[in-house]
């Protein structure tokens, strides 16, 4: 998940790519990890104007086009926290829709 960007052993590619993701132009950052942290390859997609995270993709073996991608839509503000209203999961190989997370009830603890 996106918190993987802060793990010790994270290797973030220096170059930023541009491509279309979820029918939107996006800035793309490729991330790998030292073997003791993980072996998946991740791509993080950002809005080029706001730099907001719009989705992410991972591969166990990129040459096999395995793994999944997740699209993020809408923003729900809860206090100071901003979360996406919708997170949809798809299979890389055939774009098969797997499911959607929608935060229906958000509990705020004081």
What is the per-residue pLDDT for 23? Answer: 94
What is the per-residue pLDDT for 5? Answer: 77
What is the per-residue pLDDT for 80? Answer: 85
Please check the confidence at residue 108 and state whether its pLDDT lies above 70: no
DSSP state of 14: S
CA angle 6, 8, 12 (to 5 degrees): 60
Distance of CA 52 to the CA centre of its chain: 11
- pLDDT tens digits along 61-88: 999 999 999 999 988 887 888 888 889 9
Domain boundaries, the chain: 2-101
């Amino acid at each position: 998940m996106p918190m993987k960007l802060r793990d010790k052993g994270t290797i973030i590619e220096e170059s930023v790519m541009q491509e279309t993701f979820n029918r939107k132009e996006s800035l793309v950052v490729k991330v790998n990890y030292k073997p003791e942290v993980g072996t998946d390859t991740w791509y993080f997609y950002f809005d080029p104007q706001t730099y907001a995270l719009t989705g992410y993709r991972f591969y166990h073996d990129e040459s096999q086009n395995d793994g999944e991608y997740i699209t993020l839509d809408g923003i729900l503000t809860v206090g100071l926290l901003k979360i996406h209203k919708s997170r949809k999961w798809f299979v890389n190989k055939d774009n098969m829709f797997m499911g959607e997370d929608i935060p229906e009830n958000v509990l705020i603890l004081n």
